[in-house]
Structure formats: structure tokens, C-alpha cells
Homo-oligomer: A and B are copies of this chain.
């Protein structure tokens, strides 16, 4: 159990490093072929597409793990972001301004890979930084 926990935390931190390196060729090491993201079965290819789109819309995107809780099956983390979305983000007209926000996200692992993701981004915190 303790072993499995250490494993998932290590795998998760390597996954985050992979995202920050935008090394999409290695994402299959961390994400299951049939991965589900917020109840949509997007699979590994849809997962890569989603991340490429994120980096296209936010060129200085960087994932920072602020907090991490794990057991033998799940990882929960709080990710911090400090970045400048080019246009709209979550439907908000950011247009190149700097924003700081957090994402609380829970991952279910299967065979050492992310099988399901439940992600919530703190949209209210972004709205509080601007007058829209």
C-alpha cells in the first residue's frame, strides 16, 4: 500500500514534467488509451489534442503541483497556474492579460496510467481578477 502510493506520486510527478516539456510522444506512458476526462471518453489521442489546444491558447502554460494526496488508486492534486491566455479562456475575454488561478483535480489510475480525470478550474477566482 505504502509502496503503491509512492509509485503513483512518482508517476504523477513524471506526468506533470512530461506536460511541461510538451513531450506528447511520451504521454502514452502516463495516460490510458481509453482515458475519460470530466465524463467524456476522449482517449489518449483526445487527451493529447486537449493539451496541444491548451498550450496553443496559453503559450506560457506551466503546471505547478501545489499539493498532492494519493492512495493506491487515486491522486488528488491542486495545480497552480500563472499565465497569459491569448484570447478567451473559460469563456472569459482575457486577451493576453496575466491571470493566476488553481485547479483541483482527481485522477483514477489503472495499471499505472491515468484512466479517469475529474478536473475543476477556479473560474470565480479568475473573474475576481478583472472587471468583465
Q: Given A2-B1, A69-B70, A127-B91: A106 and B78 within 8 A (CB)? A: yes
Interface string of A1-40 (1 = CB under 8 A from B): 1100100000000000000000000000000000000000
Q: Separation in Å of the A46 CB from the closest CB of chain B?
A: 18
User: Please, which residues of chain B bring their CB within 8 A of the CB of A70?
Assistant: 69, 71
A120 close to B102 (CB less than 8 A): yes
Residue of A71, A76, A105 with highest tally of chain B CB at under 10 A: A76
Contact of A120 among B1, B90, B91, B120 (CB under 8 A): B120
Asked if A120 contacts B121 (CB within 8 A), the reply is yes
> Are B1 and A106 in contact, with the CB atoms below 8 A?
no
Is A130's beta carbon under 8 Å from chain B? no
The secondary structure that dominates the A interface is strand
**Complex alpha-carbon distance, A1 and B102, angstroms:** 28
- On chain B, the residues within 8 Å of A71 by CB distance are 5, 69-71
Shortest CB distance A123–B (Å) = 5
The reply to whether A104 and B120 contact each other, CB–CB distance below 8 Å, is: yes
Contacting residues of chain A (88-131) with chain B, CB-CB under 8 angstroms: 90-91, 102-106, 118-124, 127
Q: In the assembly, what is the distance between CA of A74 and CA of B103, in Å?
A: 17
How far apart are the CA atoms of A2 and B1 in the complex, in Å? 9
A44 CB to closest chain B CB (Å) equals: 23
